[in-house]
Amino acid sequence: MPIQWFPGHMAKAKREVQEKLKLVDFVIELVDARTPKSSQNPLLQQILNQKPKMTVLMKDDLADPAWTKEWLDHLSDQGIKAITVNVNEQNDIQKVISTAKEVAKVKMERHKKKGVRPRPARAMIIGIPNVGKSTLINRLVHKKIAKTGDRPGVTKNQQWIKVKKDFELLDTPGILWPKFEEEVVGYRLAAIGTIKDQLLPTEDVAAFVIKYLQEYYPNILIERYDLQQDLLDMNDIFEQIGKRRGCLESGGHINFEKTADVILQDLRTGKLGKITFEKPYNEE
The pLDDT of residue 145 is 60
The pLDDT of residue 55 is 95
The pLDDT of residue 93 is 92
Domains 3-179 and 201-282 belong to one CATH topology = no
CA 218/CA 229 separation, integer angstroms: 7
The pLDDT of residue 271 is 96
Helix (H, G, I), strand (E, B) or coil at 214: helix
CA 166/CA 144 separation, integer angstroms: 18
The pLDDT of residue 206 is 97
Residues across the chain: 284
Residue 54: in which H helix or E strand, if any?
strand 53-58
276 C-beta neighbours (distance < 10 Å), count? 22
Q: What topology does CATH give the domain 201-282?
A: Conserved Hypothetical Protein Ylqf; Chain: A; domain 2 (1.10.1580)
CA 30/CA 169 separation, integer angstroms: 13
The pLDDT of residue 47 is 76
CA 96/CA 102 separation, integer angstroms: 10
Report CA dihedral (201, 63, 14, 165) to the nearest 10 degrees. Answer: 150
The pLDDT of residue 6 is 52
Contacts of 190 (CB under 8 A, 6+ apart): 197, 199, 200, 205, 208
Consecutive 10-residue averages of pLDDT for the chain (284 residues): 54 74 90 94 76 93 96 93 93 92 85 80 87 90 60 52 84 69 88 84 96 94 86 90 90 92 96 95 58
The pLDDT of residue 251 is 82
Name the residue ranges covered by the structural domains of the chain. Answer: 3-179, 201-282
The pLDDT of residue 208 is 97
CATH superfamily of domain region 3-179 = P-loop containing nucleotide triphosphate hydrolases (3.40.50.300)
The pLDDT of residue 44 is 76
The pLDDT of residue 2 is 55
